[in-house]
Amino acid sequence: MENKILKCIISYDGSKFYGLQLQPDKKTVIGEIQNALLKLNIKTYIKHAGRTDRGVHALNQVISFEVPDFWDIEKLKNILNQILMPGIMFKKIQITNNFNPRFDAKKRSYRYILSPYTNPFVDNYVTFYPKTINLSLIQNALNILKGRHDFEYFAKTGSEVNNYFREIYDAYIIKHKNFHIIKIIGNGFLRGQIRIIVDFLLKINENKLSLIDLELQLNKKKLFNKHLAKPNGLYLERIWY
């Protein structure tokens, strides 16, 4: 029986899972999707565009897998959404050829949301940060990060990659209502890179670190800080192909 390759855009609430990738005895996004497919007698390997850690959300994650040719993709999407709700939603499914969601990606964007207020109904989806934010200072720091750099000092220890060079195309911070949103667009990101960057930015905002410190760490002259900002404010926003 022939199979067809599907490209799927999904969104998920990261607070409900121990990350994207399969883990033994842990509830993960890929694990839940795999279980849902098995209920439909579909045994397949799921590829993804990029892992997200426990508590990190995705608005438009991209995955790919094969299904038997007889499946109607709109029907499949509806059935999967019924099984997977709440927490995971298939937004779009399309048939493709020789598609690899990770290696075919051209650029990715993440957003990080900060709130000065705590609220039990939104605390899983924003990071509580009650301090005043200096927008111009944070923007100056983000400007330093733009371009192609070796981000080894902004990656989780133990990251398995061929090299640490990544290019940031754009990075900015905006205020929207009561929220501050940091957006970073690049050709790819290392494990923990966005969260380490955000934590560094907040320490600059609090005068615990400086723009010079950021430049020194970016150029691998000195390591000041590799702490991770909380995961709940982070969203994988979009992937371009």
Which residues are identified as catalytic? 53
Give 113-155 as a DSSP string: EEESS--TTTTTTSEE--S---HHHHHHHHHHH-EEEE-GGGS
Tokens 């927490």 -> residue: 87
- Terminal-residue alpha carbon distance, the chain: 29
| Nearest CA among 217, 193, 214, 157 for reference residue 52 | 193
Alpha-carbon radius of gyration of the chain: 19
